[in-house]
Structure 1
């Protein structure tokens, strides 16, 4: 049996994931993406990873950034996540909840956590890059419900529970 790209994507649509915005800085200023691929890699030293589609407009800038900020989003950031997920979506506008961090990167106000670090390694992986970041600062925000991406939609944990309760019994 051979895994096709469509089957592979369909499988991961069934896997809910937390949502983050990843920000880097290029010559023209900050760039950012919405990512559901952020994962903890190591606690000692603190490291995280995320993937970037190589063809993405911001991918090269983020992968080449000296400093990275990763913001773990709460349900109140749905609009911001949508904007950063769309090609050509509004980014870093005055009506979005941004402030500048001590390392001069824009960070989202009200994020559950902001992780600052340096790109340690960029690994080619198929049509993507796997980016490893050594984290040197963690700023914890207010605890809140995480924003979740599942089956091509943004969800709150409560909405996912309601959807699961409303679904017919799963096939055996």
Structure 2
């Protein structure tokens, strides 16, 4: 059976994904990109993963970085997510507020949390690359609801109460 891309996109649009921004420093300064494929892999050892399109203008920088940051975005940061998703935007210019974190990684202010990671493995997956990374530094940020991508748009997490699964 062949899966048709329009049908696949239609179904996958219904799955809510958390929104994060990857950041790193390259030869021309800080760079970053919005992602919706970020996930926790393991607590011991602390591992995370994400997928990034090979066509992303940030892919080469992330692939070659010794360290990169992962910023978990809050519901109040939809505009920031859009800025980091816009090709050609000056993503670190005002109104973006950021600071330099461990290992010189640029970290965005006002996020729910930050991770500084070192890449461990990259696997080509179709037109994307799946990256497995070790979490070396973590910091909690602002309290609040998360930001998710669902049905083609950014939405706040409406209910932050959790049930155990």
- So what's the TM-score if we normalise by structure 1? 0.87
How do 1:1-172 residues align onto structure 2 when only pairs under 5 Å count? 1-158=1-158
Distance 2:102 2:40 in 1: 23
Runs of 4+ in structure 1 displaced over 3 angstroms? none
Cα deviation, residue 89, structure 1 = 2.2
CA distance in 2, matches of 1:97, 1:12: 32
1:84-113 residue CA offsets vs partner (Å, 9 max, x unmatched): 111112311132121111322211111111
Work out the CA distance in 1 between the residues paired with 2:128 and 2:119. 16
Q: CA deviation at 1:155?
A: 0.6
**Which secondary structure state, in structure 2, belongs to the residue aligned with residue 23 of structure 1?**
strand
Question: Would the aligned equivalents of 2:42 and 2:48 in 1 still touch at CA under 8 Å?
Answer: yes
Structure 2 residue matching 1:61: 3-state secondary structure: helix
What is the TM-score when the length of structure 2 is the normalising length? 0.91
CA distance in 2, matches of 1:26, 1:109: 20
Q: Report the 3-state secondary structure (helix = DSSP H, G, I; strand = E; otherwise coil) of the residue aligned with 1:49.
A: strand
Q: Which has the larger radius of gyration?
A: 1
Matched residue, 1:168? none
Q: Which consecutive residues of structure 1, in runs of 5 or more, have no partner in the other structure?
A: 160-172
Separation (CA, whole Å) in 2 of partners of 1:97 and 1:77: 12
Q: Matched residues in 1 for 2:156 and 2:110: separation?
A: 16
